[in-house]
Amino acid sequence: MRKYASKNDGKELALQEEAMKKASAYVADLARKLDRQPLCCVTTFGCQMNARDSEKLLGILSRIGYAPTDKEEEADFVVYNTCTVRDHANQRVYGRLGFLNSIKRRKPHLKIALCGCMMQEETVIEKIKKSYRFVDLIFGTHNLFKFAELLVTMFENQEMIIDIWQETDQIVETLPVSRKYAYKSGINIMFGCNNFCSYCIVPYVRGRERSRDPREILQEIERLVTDGVVEVMLLGQNVNSYGRNLDEPITFAQLLREVEQIEGLKRIRFMTSHPKDLSDELIDVMKHSGKICRHLHLPVQAGSDRILQAMNRHYTKKEYLSLVEKIKAAMPDIAITTDIIVGFPGETLADVEETIDVVRQVQYDNAFTFLYSRRTGTPAAAMEEQVPAETAREGFDRLLKVVQETAKERAALLQGKVMEALVEEVNEQDASLMTGRLSNNMLVHFPASQELIGQFVDVSLDTCHGFYYTGHVVEPCSLKEAVQ
Ligand code: SAH
Ligand code: SF4
Ligand code: F3S
């Protein structure tokens, strides 16, 4: 059996274990000084990949003796796992750093670490070095697996520690992980991106595309299932090109077939699908699967062919629409969601009308709409016809209206139906309600006991509220099986 990823894992793991031991001693020392267990808070910005990375950071912090907290102001160690996909994400980090500084003035033992995509940008590092001297540790996306070692260096030094790598060929996925949810988990199946959509910074901050060995993915999922996980989300920037560059190539659809075989696993999700690489084989596997959820996130980004070409997306409006038609013909009950950018250089309101036309034709169940954000270093940032803010805003508002109307119409179609939901958590607003997720990714709130968390129930979707439902449990599914 080829050991591409784990070849380094053994040696690396030993190194990190050693570092965790050393770091534990520093945390124990702090605990004695504080006369309580030190607290840590990991704040995540950005996408599911970052959320998964944060679980790895928290795994190590818990192992060395920190207890987790959601409240930054209570913590003795704060980590910001940053995103830089749009400028707004960066600004939020700078804003919150100011707040952290005020806490650190009152609590000098507070340690602050920054990591994630934003840290892969030189200009960001320069700015932090100049204006945010109180940060203790900075590292990037490629050396996250060195976190334990970096912590030791931080504890042993007073000055700011900065360690950013430009690339890595190592995949280390066997370190401790603290999962946010007991019953569901994300799994990295690939890292980086080779698509270079002209507006997007991700390929520059996450590096080239690398797929994990399928056997390691399957083993990880098996371990998770043994640990109580019933739903997995396979993660990659473009899962449809998974496996192409492995020594023994395999398609994403083949990987899904294998994941489907894992006993005890109930639901499979994945993110994100690039339309240019979505194969007939994948549609076929989804159609015949009892576990793959009836949801496909298929970012369209724009509807005008001229803009799609300038975005380097490699499909036309017509090609996208016929792909959707094929998917819907195979799975009439599938929910399709998307990402859309408004205000890409050169985009006119007539172009936005093309996007709106796509929304009307596809009838998305949900669409995430973004105003174009100029990212330094991407080809689009250098394009001449940057769109004035008012024009972009007008297009955005027109689009949003249609997105909301169509999503509402779609959601209304299921009102009154009984569907299976995975009970996820206590409702944030009303503790007497539980929140469940349907296969199509919609949420439903219903009265039930907390003991049902992590279980499947049949829920009647009594009232549609646009983007979610309220309902009642018809019959817990486990009960249903027990009776049969
Ligand atoms: N790999 C995924 C998306 C990653 S980023 C994919 O290809 O679908 C998530 C979304 O952020 C993108 O789909 C895009 O809609 C949006 N986005 C990326 N760069 C952006 C930019 N410069 N300005 C505005 N939105 C952007
Ligand atoms: Fe960015 Fe395009 Fe890669 Fe998605 S596929 S991460 S939008 S470059
Ligand atoms: Fe943001 Fe990085 Fe994800 S830039 S969207 S956190 S890959």
Q: Which atom of ligand 1 is nearest to the CA of 195?
A: 7
DSSP character for 332? T
62: nearest Cα among 48, 46, 41: 41
Q: Enumerate the H helices of 268-388 as residue ranges.
A: 280-288, 305-310, 317-330, 349-362
Q: In the prediction, which pLDDT does 11 show? A: 86
Task: Tell me the Ramachandran region of residue 58: left when phi exceeds 0, alpha when psi lies from -120 to 50, beta otherwise.
Answer: alpha
Q: Which atom of ligand 3 is nearest to the CA of 84?
A: 4
Q: In the prediction, which pLDDT does 8 show? A: 53
- Cα angle, residue 277 at apex, residues 272 and 282 outer, rounded to 5°: 80
234: nearest Cα among 248, 214, 250: 214
Ligand 3 pocket: which of 142, 202, 373, 375 to mutate (most atoms within 8 A of CB): 202
Q: Which atom of ligand 2 is nearest to the CA of 196?
A: 8
Ligand nearest to the CA of 205: 3
Check pocket membership of 339 for ligand 1, CB cut-off 6 A: yes
Q: Enumerate the H helices of 278-433 as residue ranges.
A: 280-288, 305-310, 317-330, 349-362, 389-412
Burial 359-370, CB ≥16 within 10 A → b, else e: beebebbbbebb
Ligand 3 binding site (Cβ under 6 Å of any ligand atom):
46-47, 49-50, 83-85, 117, 202, 205-206
Q: In the prediction, which pLDDT does 484 show? A: 41
Distance 202 CA to ligand 3 centre (A): 6
Ligand nearest to the CA of 383: 1
pLDDT tier, 44 (very low <50, low <70, confident <90, very high otherwise): very high
Those residues with Cβ within 8 angstroms of residue 80's Cβ, 6 or more apart along the chain or in another chain: 43, 45, 93, 96, 97, 112, 113, 114, 115, 116
Q: Which atom of ligand 3 is nearest to the CA of 89?
A: 1
Ligand nearest to the CA of 298: 1
Check pocket membership of 460 for ligand 1, CB cut-off 6 A: no
CA-nearest residue, atom 3 of ligand 3: 47
Instruction: Report d(CA 2, CA 12) in Å as an integer.
Output: 18
Ligand 2 binding site (Cβ under 6 Å of any ligand atom):
193, 195-197, 200, 202-203, 237-238, 274
Looking at the predicted structure, is the pLDDT value of residue 438 above 80?
yes
Q: Which atom of ligand 3 is nearest to the CA of 237?
A: 7
Query: For the residues 467-480, what does the mean pLDDT come to?
Result: 78
Q: Enumerate the H helices of 35-47 as residue ranges.
A: none
CA torsion through residues 325, 330, 332, 338, sign: negative
Structure tokens, 293: 């959820």
The pair phi, psi for residue 340, each rounded to 5°, is -135, 140
Identify the helix (H) or strand (E) that includes residue 104.
Answer: helix 87-106
Distance 420 CA to ligand 3 centre (A): 32
The 10s digit of each residue's pLDDT in 361-397 is: 999 999 999 999 999 999 999 999 999 999 999 999 9
Instruction: Report d(CA 52, CA 212) in Å as an integer.
Output: 15
Q: Which atom of ligand 1 is nearest to the CA of 199?
A: 22
Query: For the residues 356-363, what does the mean pLDDT come to?
Result: 98
C-alpha 375, offset from chain centre: 20
Q: In the prediction, which pLDDT does 168 show? A: 85
* Residue appearing with tokens 């994403």: 252
The 10s digit of each residue's pLDDT in 177-236 is: 999 999 999 999 999 999 999 999 999 999 999 999 999 999 999 999 999 999 999 999
Check pocket membership of 373 for ligand 1, CB cut-off 6 A: yes
Give the chain's largest Cα–Cα span: 67
Ligand 2 pocket: which of 238, 241, 242, 375 to mutate (most atoms within 8 A of CB): 238
pLDDT tier, 1 (very low <50, low <70, confident <90, very high otherwise): very low
Q: Which atom of ligand 2 is nearest to the CA of 312?
A: 2
Ligand 1 pocket: which of 370, 376, 393 to mutate (most atoms within 8 A of CB): 370
39: nearest Cα among 73, 6, 1: 73
Q: In the prediction, which pLDDT does 450 show? A: 94
Distance 118 CA to ligand 3 centre (A): 8
Looking at the predicted structure, is the pLDDT value of residue 97 above 50?
yes
CA-nearest residue, atom 14 of ligand 1: 339
Mean of pLDDT over the chain:
94
Check pocket membership of 299 for ligand 1, CB cut-off 6 A: yes
Structure tokens, 204: 């520059």
DSSP character for 72? G
Query: For the residues 345-349, what does the mean pLDDT come to?
Result: 97
Ligand nearest to the CA of 345: 1
Ligand nearest to the CA of 339: 1
